[in-house]
Amino acid sequence: MLKSKLFAATAILGLAALSLAATLDGYSFKRTPKEGESHKYKQSGKFEAGGMEITYEATSTNKVAKVEADGTFLEESTTGDVKMNGQEPPDGGAGGSQKTTTKYSPKGEVLEIKSENVGAEAYRFANLALFVTPETDIKVGDSWTYEVKEDKKTGAAAAKATYKLVAEEKVGDVDALKLTVSIKETATDGASSESTVWLSKTDYTMLKTTAKWTNAPIPGAPVTISGEMTITLVK
């Protein structure tokens, strides 16, 4: 059962499509998703949950399903080819898939999640991978913050997110922007995430993310997870 909950949780990890506009003053992180745009990623990680050590491997595909006139958009994240501790989940199977549809505001705020076992844990988990765009242009060394408000309707917990553009560097042969992201709930059991994200400077897709979670909630499960995940662009 725990493995199936972790399987569902990782489907929420799909990062929204980003577009970065370079200016003389820095980078303007403006989201311009296009309907039908799709990217595939490889996931690998190691977690501790309920006293169990779990290794995790999967693939995920993030597709922009719809873009509204006001910039609000829907993203479908499908996770498949799952293996835990080297084995296929008994109720998922490596050939199976788990789809999650998330509605984002133009700034990247999570507005609605549709999937199996959608409850407070799903919104809390999604907000630990939140990327909200800044109000001003950002240069290397600059930071910005965002306050996640508690939402009693969805169960989202209050949290603070801090973002920093730390470098311009390469990922393989691709010119990239490197950012650090720290998100911490301000109440509950202290769930938090610390991530490093690399974005392409030419086509603005996410190239790689390394994330570390502490006491992260699993949708539909009574336990939390702590551990690390690496997400790498395949195509």
DSSP letters, 117-171, are T-SHHHHHHHHTT-----SS-B-TT-EEEEEEPPBTTTTBPPEEEEEEEEEEEEE
Which residues, 6 or more positions from 153, have their beta carbon under 8 angstroms from its beta carbon?
A: none
Q: How far is CA 160 from the centre of its chain?
A: 16
From 85, 102, 103, 105, select the one nearest 94 (Cα to Cα). Answer: 85
What global pTM score does this model have? 0.87
Q: What is the mean pLDDT of residues 184-191?
A: 84
In sequence order, the β-bridge partners of residue 226 are 48
The matching CATH number, chosen from 2.30.230, 1.10.3470, 2.30.30, 1.25.40, for 2-233 is 2.30.230
From 95, 56, 63, 76, select the one nearest 228 (Cα to Cα). Answer: 56
Type of residue at 88: E
Cβ atoms of 215 and 224 closer than 8 Å: yes
**Whose structure tokens read 């109440």?**
187
Whole-angstrom Cα distance, residue 39 to residue 193?
Answer: 23
Q: Between 219 and 88, where is the model more confident? A: 88
**Picking from 36-40, 155-159, 189-193, which range would have the lowest pLDDT averaged per residue?**
189-193
| Start-end of H helices in the chain | 2-10, 120-127
For position 95, what pLDDT does the model report?
Answer: 42
For position 27, what pLDDT does the model report?
Answer: 84
The helices-and-strands tally (H runs, E runs) of the chain is 2, 13
Q: Per-residue pLDDT tens for 73-121?
A: 999 999 999 999 999 877 654 344 678 999 999 999 999 999 877 889 9
